[in-house]
Amino acid sequence: MLVLSSPSGAGKTTMSKRLLAGDPQISLSVSATTRPPRAGEIDGQDYHFVTDAQFDGLVATGQLLEWAHVFGNRYGTPRGPVEAALAEGRDILFDIDWQGTQQLRQSQAGGDLVSIFLLPPTMDELHSRLRSRASDSETVIAGRMARAADEISHWAEYEYILVNDDPGQCLYEIRSILVTERLRRERQRGLAAFVRDLLAGG
34 within domain boundaries? yes
Domain count, the chain: 1
For residue 15, being part of any structural domain is answered with yes
pLDDT at position 110: 64
Structural domain of 56: 2-185
Rounded to the nearest angstrom, the gap between the alpha carbon of residue 125 and the centroid of all alpha carbons in its chain is 22
Task: Note the pLDDT of residue 155.
Answer: 96
CATH number where 148 lies: 3.40.50.300
**pLDDT in the model for residue 111:** 72
Which pLDDT score is estimated for 142? 87
Does residue 27 lie in a domain region?
Answer: yes
**Which pLDDT belongs to residue 97?**
87
Write down the pLDDT at residue 95: 87
Is 38 within the bounds of a domain?
yes
On whether residue 194 sits in a domain, the answer given is no
- Is the residue at 196 inside a domain? no
Mean pLDDT by 10 residues, the chain (202 residues): 92 92 93 92 92 96 90 91 88 90 80 92 88 77 89 95 95 97 90 94 74
Interior/surface letters 119-152, b for 16+ CB within 10 angstroms, e for the rest: bbeeeeebbebbeeeeeeeeeebeebbeebeebb
**pLDDT (tens digit per residue) in 30-82:** 999 999 998 899 999 889 999 999 999 999 999 999 898 887 899 999 999 99
Could you tell me the end-to-end alpha-carbon distance of the chain, in angstroms, rounded to an integer? 33
pLDDT (0 to 100) of residue 73: 93
Does residue 191 lie within any of the structural domains? no
Residue 78 lies in a domain: yes
Whole-model pTM: value is 0.85
pLDDT of residue 161: 98
